[in-house]
Amino acid sequence: MYICLCHGVTDKKIEQTIDDGATTMRELSKELKVGSQCGKCCGCTKKILNRKLIEIADITDQVA
């Protein structure tokens, strides 16, 4: 699903960027330009970021 229409960024691309090491909105904005134009994508992007960071934390806890 397209999250940022201004820059053509999908939820999968955001998730991939988080998997590649991005952990903040600033990093996502720098890498993908989300939130840098109209800003309407920020809410959805934050939800995806939070969900992925929780998943990563849960996986880390299971491994440790």
Percent of all residues in the chain with a pLDDT value above 70, rounded to a whole number: 97
Q: pLDDT digit string (tens) for 26-48?
A: 999 999 999 999 999 999 999 99
Is pLDDT above 90 for 60? no
The pLDDT of residue 30 = 97
Question: Which segments of the chain are extended strands (E)?
Answer: 2-4, 9-10
User: Measured between alpha carbons, how far is 28 from 31 in angstroms, rounded to an integer?
Assistant: 5
- pTM for the predicted model, two decimal places: 0.90
User: What value does the mean pLDDT take over residues 13-38?
Assistant: 97
The pLDDT of residue 63 = 65
> Bridge partners of 4?
9
